[in-house]
Structure 1
Amino acid sequence: MIQRIQTLYLILAAGISAGLIFVFHLWTNNEDAKVYALDNYTYLGLFLGSAFLSLISIFMFKNRKSQFMLGRLNIILNFILLGIFVYQSLNLSGETNVSEKGIGILLPIFSIVCLVLANKAIKKDEDLVKSVDRLR
């Protein structure tokens, strides 16, 4: 259902995870070559997995509990991706691979924010439905 705010948040999270990885680079190496998520299949798989979970969550609007659970799983996936980026940037010895970080490393943070807002709206809908059921 497009008219619900969590659908817009989930579309935005999917767009960040699947679309912006082609626009923003993750880092620039010593040869001044920009490294994108397409260059490493692990990063590409995690970004596309996050986008896929967001899209699946959009179409599970009738089952809010599983939609909420998929949102939490997607948040965990983005934290794993962010942890890999932080580990790689902190584990470098003498700037051998990365000389300049790009904005692509921050994409999981933006996706996490959208997913948290979506889960908050899903929880609000679930509480509303429970309160209406109590009145019956």
Structure 2
Amino acid sequence: MLQRIQTLYLLMAAGISAGLIFLFPIWETQEGTVVYAYNELLYLILFLGSGLLSIGSIFIFKNRKLQFVLGRLNIILNFFLLGFFVYQSLKVSGETMVSEKGIGMFLPIISIVFLALANKAIKKDEDLVKSVDRLR
């Protein structure tokens, strides 16, 4: 059902992953150039993939198990994205190429929180359906 709370959580995760990457910079280099996620192809693909997974799992509401699995895959994808950001910021010892980190580096963390909340609500719905099936 589309009116469930996990739909709201998944929409928030999709909005963060696919929408806010165009507003918040990932980092600023030593030369003063601001780098957004859409400037780097890998980050753009991972962010948009995360957003598409969130939107796709909204419309698979009849298959809660698959919806739960897609939520977990999306969380793993966001952890990879966060790992790439950490690697990029620590790539050079001493002074890094990334002189100032932007709020865009923390977008995967916020997305992971909303995806975990959505998975918790999906699990709760699945448990409710299983308990009603036992009574029949």
> What range is the shorter-chain TM-score in?
over 0.9
Amino acid at match of 1:111: S
**CA distance, structure 2, for counterparts of residue 40 and residue 95 of structure 1:** 21
> 2:38 — aligned with what?
38
Equivalent residues of 2:78, 2:108 under 8 A apart: yes
Equivalent residues of 2:26, 2:102 under 8 A apart: yes
What's the C-alpha RMSD, in Å, of the aligned pairs? 0.9
> 1:56 — aligned with what?
56
CA deviation digits over 1:27-66, x for unaligned, max 9?
Answer: 0001111100011100000000000000000000000000
Percent identity (aligned)? 74
Is 1:121 aligned with 2:83?
Answer: no
TM-score by length of 1: 0.97
**CA distance, structure 1, for counterparts of residue 84 and residue 134 of structure 2:** 45
**CA distance, structure 2, for counterparts of residue 82 and residue 56 of structure 1:** 22
CA drift of 1:93 comes to 3.4
Equivalent residues of 2:27, 2:99 under 8 A apart: yes
CA drift of 1:92 comes to 2.0
Is 1:133 aligned with 2:133?
Answer: yes
4+ runs of 1 displaced by more than 4 Å? none
TM-score by length of 2: 0.97
Number of aligned positions between the proteins: 136
**CA distance, structure 2, for counterparts of residue 95 and residue 46 of structure 1:** 27
**CA distance, structure 1, for counterparts of residue 6 and residue 63 of structure 2:** 13
> 1:82 — aligned with what?
82
Unpaired runs of 5+ residues, structure 1, are none
Equivalent residues of 2:88, 2:98 under 8 A apart: no
CA drift of 1:6 comes to 0.1
SS of equivalent to 1:28: strand
SS of equivalent to 1:11: helix
Unpaired runs of 5+ residues, structure 2, are none
